[in-house]
Chain A
Amino acid sequence: MAAVEQQPLQTETFGQRLRAWLTRLVISQEGILLIITIIAMLVLSTQSDRFLTARNLTREAVLLFEVAMMALPMTYIIITGGIDLSVGSIFGMSAIILGFAWQDAGLPLELAIAIGILSGMIAGFVNGLFIVRVGVPPLIMTLATLALYRGMALGISQARSARGFPDWFYEVGRGDFLGLPWQIWILGAAILISAIVLARTSFGRGLYAIGNNELGARFAGIPVDRYKLIIYTFSGFMSGVAAWIFTSRVSTTRSDMGTGIELDVIAAVVLGGTDIFGGSGTIAGTVIGLILIQVLKSGLLLSGVKGDATTVMVGAVLILAILINNLVGRFRS
């Protein structure tokens, strides 16, 4: 973050400034990832002529949607030095509660959607409350609720799934708006807002301060506890929204939805350059991290690589990206 905002010295010419800016961009975490992503896309596009098409790319964006929605608050949380392992379980529980409220409790579907999202928020808030008030480490707390919320989803659903929603419900998951899937608009807006809040507001600044030195942030009068409560609640909210739109796309709810998705979310955030120990990271990095993983998965699949080999490749590229970044990081400092 600091590198991007570095003030050029007044005596430099425009050309020098441009070059300095480009150098910084290229050796920044985001820059390296972007280059790797572009190379991956170019290589994969030579393997299959179906890969680099508008149709395929929008399809991939829709597949990416749920992980991406959860990766935004996860970026905030990891910047503060925390973690939220329970996002996948909140996702599953919200979907189940949505279906239960509509099908079993007989509530209007609009209200059921709101209740589903609200239950996600409450689940996130409970995480935050225990982390802040009781001082449970985020890893432990969200590991516990990973099991707890999934168990609640199983209990409420009784292994039954909700289906047969009215037609309008499927619009947001399958329909288009101005020629693009709804997911792309929603995700775009979410990315934009998350990025601006993180980079430009006192709240965002506070998150970096907490991640670098929580005690120092507290001593500077930053409302550390309130900020933490907000980000864990935000995480629950985004899982809830993702659950609603995912249900709309796949037209059914199942209690095991989103199992293991937290690992994809965390992988994208960390690959995007957010320090797992907190203190640095950007939304732009997370977005590139998300794209890189999705590009690899889809491109390799279209190139005829088998499913399990794809996973191996994705893992290898993750390690490669981190290695390159470490090397450049040494050069940077």
Chain B
Amino acid sequence: MEPILQLTNISKRFPGVQALDGVHFDICPGEVHALVGENGAGKSTMIKIISGVHRPDSGEIRIDGQPVEFNNPREATERGIATIYQELSLYPELTVAENIFMGHAPSSQVGPFRKINWGEMFDRAQEILASLNIHDMDVRRKVGSLSVGNRQRVEIAKALSINARILIMDEPTASLTEADVERLFEIVRLLRERGVGIIYISHRLQEVFELGDRVTVLRDGQYIDTKPVSETTEDELISMMVGRTIDNLFPKLPSEVREPVLEVRDLRRRPSVRGVSMQVRAGEIVGLAGLVGSGRSELAQTIFGITPAQSGEIFVNGQKVEIKTPAQAVKLGIAYVPEDRGTQGLIKEMTIRENVSMAVLPELARGGFIDFAREKTLAQEAIQQLNIRATSVQQIVAKLSGGNQQKVVVSKWLASKPRLLIMDEPTRGIDVGAKAEIHRLMSELAVQGIAILMISSELPEILGMSDRILVMREGRLVAEFSRDEATQENIAAAMMSAQMENNHLVMERSAR
């Protein structure tokens, strides 16, 4: 069958990272084409290119065989491409019907104004919902009062109101109850019968087998393969998603593991941290793996006092402690290199000098007065030690490259001489050279006896750097592997597929 949409050799580069590199993708009418890959594999970038948010650096997009270029999302919409994002984009204060017809409400000209034909709008909204087998929704209700599942149905109806021929669904089941998932699947099948092409993105592989006709795997922005779902298995998909060779990017040095620096017992902070117990020892790098939303960063921020624990115990060097604020955590020798450099890790408008000293100002100050000479020395040492490429300590951090910005964040926390260093995605979005430098530094710090807890979505990084690996899912630790036991496959399986155990969809699939 002739594809409605065809992407050939698409590449897209963002500063410091090749998001997509020669990717192919196509979709036929009446097909569910699943798109899978790890976090950061390039799925989001690809759907943003299809929906006109980003423009590709190179490559070709064809619709019905005709080359097209989208300058903005509106142009993609006009070509019949609709996207349902993870965060739904509805107006909670408006009615169901208004949301469905946002921007193209049925209207008639009255003098200089356009008058909305409310009756027609409500009727047509009702029709569209009925065509999706949704008969229990009041189109006059405000969207804000609907359940998540119902809001998603409104999104789908909205896509149909513009006669979408291609529907992109990004993790549509991420926040749905099982009953809602079932209804969503019914709707997807209904749309498929009507000839809509559906691009379906999900971390839950069993959904791919439940719904998909074909599946495309991306990894690190590379196109891996496209297969009919009937000709592949879950194991094969996982190994295609993670199957990189681990190169010697990860210079992990042998390190003597000593006494525990941090211990937490049954730590809880609703809704993301649901009873975590673990230890991190001096000289040890513990890798914390898990999908986005599994509660890894939330756990780190609970330990660091940004979102203090609601219950549970924290011990630092064997002493029971209370951590209610980051300042207390810093005093206890805990440092946290956060996930988002730009908003959490740095004050980008300020200088390298001011950023490096930020966490140690109380120690740099005598009677409250900052010792500027020591502050400058500290920043100069940081520039030398971490090989930060900058014109001077007075350079504004925003003007540095991603890798050098990350080094500023790291040197800020090294200045605090931590016992426990928590690193959240320490090498996200930085180039290979800076990445290797940060990995070498982590390894050296562990040898010096610092305890390191590293959160990463890159399995090779987890495998390459960690002495021990913990896997988190839905706010709990679900697996632990030693460095020798761990493989990409068993970590990935612990991160993802164990959802099958308590999901009736598996049974349905075998019954089909």
Contacts and interface: CB of A to CB of B under 8 A. Distances in A.
A202 B368 contact: yes
A200 B350 contact: no
Nearest to A208: B350
Given A212-B350, A221-B326, 5 more contacts: A2-B396, A200-B370, A206-B361, A213-B349, A219-B338
B370 A205 contact: yes
Interface residues of B, number: 34
A122 to B, nearest CB: 24
B394 A213 contact: no
Interface string A195-233: 001001111011011001101111111110000000000
Contacts of A200: 369-370, 372
11 contacts: A200-B369, A200-B370, A202-B365, A202-B368, A202-B370, A206-B361, A208-B354, A213-B347, A216-B343, A221-B326, A222-B358
B361 A219 contact: no
B365 A209 contact: no
User: What are the 6 A-B residue pairs with the smallest beta carbon separation, nearest first?
Assistant: A202-B361, A221-B330, A220-B358, A221-B326, A201-B368, A212-B349
B344 A216 contact: yes
Interface of B: 306, 325-327, 329-330, 336, 338, 343-351, 354, 358-359, 361-362, 364-365, 368-370, 372, 376, 392-394, 396, 412
A64 to B, nearest CB: 29
Given A2-B351, A7-B392, A223 B358 contact: no
A224 B329 CA distance: 15
Contacts of B368: 197, 201-203
A197 B392 CA distance: 26
Contact of B327 (A2, A205, A221): A221
Contacts of A216: 343-348
A220 B412 contact: yes
A: interface residue count bin: 20 to 34
Contacts of B376: 7
A11 B232 CA distance: 67
A6 B394 contact: yes
A206 B343 CA distance: 16
Given A5-B394, A223-B327, A209 B370 contact: no
Contacts of B327: 221-223
Interface of A: 2, 5-7, 197, 200-203, 205-206, 208-209, 212-213, 215-223, 279
Contact of B326 (A6, A197, A219): A219
Contacts of A7: 376, 392-394
Given A6-B394, A219-B338, A213 B359 contact: no
A215 B336 CA distance: 13
B394 A2 contact: yes
B394 to A, nearest CB: 6
B394 A205 contact: no
B365 A201 contact: yes
| Residue from the set A5, A222, A279 with the largest chain B CB neighbour count within 10 Å | A222
A142 to B, nearest CB: 25
B336 A219 contact: yes
Contacts of B344: 215-216, 219
